[in-house]
Amino acid sequence: MSLALKSGDRVPVVTVATGTTLGAQVQSQVSSTGREDREDPFYLVDLGRLVELHQLWSAALPGVHPFYAVKCNNDPVLMQTLAALGCGFDCASKAEIKSVLDLGVSSKVRLQKGVATMTFDNEVELYKVKTHYPTARLVLRIRADDPSALCQLGVKFGCTVDEGKKLLLRARDMELCVVGISNEASPYLISMSAATPRTRRCSRRLSRCLTNSSSSESHSVSVSTSSDIGGGFPGTRDSEGFFTHLTDVLKEGLGRYFSGRPELKIIAEPGRFFACSTHTLAVNIISKREVSVTTPNQETTPTFMYFVNDGVYGSFNCILYDHITPTPFVVKSPPAGATVHASSLWGPTCDGLDKICDSSLPLLQVGDWLYFPDMGAYTVSAASNFNGFTKPMTYYAVSEDLRQRFLTVWNSELDSGAHFRLPPPPPLHRDNVDDDDPQLPLATTDRPGCCDNLAAPPQELVPVF
């Protein structure tokens, strides 16, 4: 079958038998006729997976409207599917906004889904908004550190709660419309064991502090109607358990602090959650070198360097920018009992930095294919053409069992707009509240943490917005 894009292009989509392994899908794509250059690297995109992921999101966070982070991967088929599923879009540049508008969502939907909403964390941004878009809906970005996160976004973005209070008053004086608060702590990068107490403590203190501070100044601060919990939800195929764990923690907090507020919208900005597992990258071995290594007991063993046709300057920039350790799989199964050798994989460019990974692999030959699952997030979106290597082609597939569901979504009106409701409030047991555990440090960077000097939480919660 083929899909009609809003841009007018048509893209072919292969239907694969349910249960076909990724390796078999890559092999079938490699051997399919009509490919202009059979050795070029390519992405295989699983469109049915997107529908499954959206269902997973809706079941896990029924009150939270996802705004897909376009920076993660702006593949037009992926974005048009997400639009059809009712997602909004989180854009960070003119080009990203254009790529969303090119999807053909109606202006009514555009406004509802956030093109008119933007975040700020400093006064200069307020002046810019006042000059260029005074009717914009603004969301205050509060800094929420997690010490165990690999990407410390707080070093660059987010204001302290005290700064935030001043900014809210400044926005009011400038007659700007602040509609919400964003509190992004990057849950993806928190280790499983650390996630619960730290995230809970931080978010409880923040929401209580905001609740208090705003109520005391509610006569003067604009009404807020939304809260943004950001991105950072895990996206690899093996992280569904972690996702459920995180969303359970979030759901409890959202139910506790924001239920009974039908006017309040909770939004999130997931990128990798939707994009990561949809893409499998296939690369071809273009050269090989055997290197003998002498072990401490003077034995010589062969190790192999394989050079493939995508690397760190291309899709594997995620190694540098997103702290990913890619795992290669061999497309052609080796004979049973085949010896594996210490091997390393290298990209095609002239740079010694262009190393993908070390791995134990069976003996491979030039022309053999390898594939890497979970390569949809922060890969092609930041890839360069350094040394004249072009970005991989993209092919789309859907499994037989999800084909009908996918087509129903694809053919639905783009403004169908999913409806999201807040989860019911769980009972408040004071025994479970760990806000004041002194063992849980919050800020690790050189900037003061936003949660450091918050007053002890009150027993009574006062609505803010």
Spatial distance between the Cα atoms of 373 and 390, rounded to a whole number of angstroms: 20
DSSP string computed for 249-280: HHHHHHHHHHTT-TTPEEEE--SHHHHGGGEE
Residue 258 in contact with ligand PLP, rule: CB under 6 A: no
CB–CB of 280/303 below 8 Å?
no
Q: Which of 23, 48, 86, 230 binds ligand PLP (CB under 6 A)?
A: 230
SS3 assignment for 169-234: HHHHHCCCEEEEEEEECCHHHCCHHHHHHHHHHHHHHHHHHHHHHHHHCCCCCCCCCEEECCCCCC
Kindly tell me which of 16 and 144 has the beta carbon lying closer to ligand PLP: 144
- Least spacing, CB of residue 378 vs ligand PLP, in Å: 7
- Whole-Å CA distances, 73 to 158, 237, 341: 24, 17, 34
Distance, CA of 232 to CA of 276 (rounded, Å)? 12
270 in contact with ligand PLP (CB under 6 A): yes
Rounded to a whole number of angstroms, the minimum distance from the CB of residue 70 to ligand PLP is: 9
The residue among 23 and 232 lying less far from ligand PLP, judged by its C-beta, is: 232
Asked if 233 interacts with ligand PLP (CB under 6 A), we say yes
Choose one: 231-239, 297-305, 344-352, 396-404; the region binding ligand PLP (CB under 6 A): 231-239
Per CB under 6 A, 272 contacts ligand PLP: yes
Segment contacting ligand PLP by CB under 6 A, of 98-106, 269-277, 358-366, 454-462: 269-277
- Residue 228 lies near ligand PLP (rule: CB under 6 A): no
Neighbours of 254 (CB within 10 A): 25
Q: In what order do the strands lie in the sheet with 177-184?
A: 88-90, 64-69, 265-268, 226-228, 177-184, 137-143, 117-120
User: Catalytic: 350?
Assistant: yes
- Which residues neighbour 188 within 8 Å (Cβ) at sequence distance 6 or greater? 231, 232, 233, 234, 235, 272
Smallest gap from residue 227 Cβ to ligand PLP (A): 14
Residue 15 or residue 152: which is nearer to ligand PLP going by CB? Answer: 152
Q: Which of 232, 253, 314, 423 binds ligand PLP (CB under 6 A)?
A: 232
- The first and second tokens of residue 322, run together, are 């997103």
Interaction with ligand PLP in 354-393: which residues (CB under 6 A)? Answer: 377
Name the residue type at position 220: S
By CB under 6 A, tell whether 180 contacts ligand PLP. Answer: no
Stretch that binds ligand PLP, among 15-23, 224-232, 324-332, 385-393 (CB under 6 A): 224-232
Interface residues for ligand PLP in 80-99 (CB under 6 A)?
90
Confirm or reject binding of residue 204 to ligand PLP (CB under 6 A). Answer: no
Cα angle value 427/65/161 (rounded, 5°): 70
Q: Which range touches ligand PLP (CB under 6 A), out of 76-84, 217-225, 229-237, 306-314?
A: 229-237
Question: Which residue, 3 or 45, has its beta carbon nearer to ligand PLP?
Answer: 45
Considering the rule CB under 6 A, would residue 269 count as an interface residue with ligand PLP? yes
Give the strand pairing for 355-362 and 10-16: unpaired
**Nearest distance in Å: CB 310, ligand PLP:** 21
Which of these is catalytic: 276, 350, 357, 450? 350
Closest CB to ligand PLP among residues 16, 178: 178
Sign of CA dihedral 395, 59, 262, 130: negative
Q: Does 66 bind ligand PLP (CB under 6 A)?
A: no
Rounded Cα–Cα distance for residues 409 and 55 (Å): 12
* Number of residues this chain uses to bind ligand PLP (CB under 6 A): 14
The Cβ of residue 45 has, within 10 Å, a number of other Cβ atoms equal to 24
| Contact residues for 210 (Cβ-Cβ < 8 A; gap 6+) | 142, 161, 164, 181, 464
Residues engaged in binding ligand PLP (CB under 6 A) = 69, 72, 90, 188, 230-233, 269-273, 377
**Residues with catalytic annotation?**
350
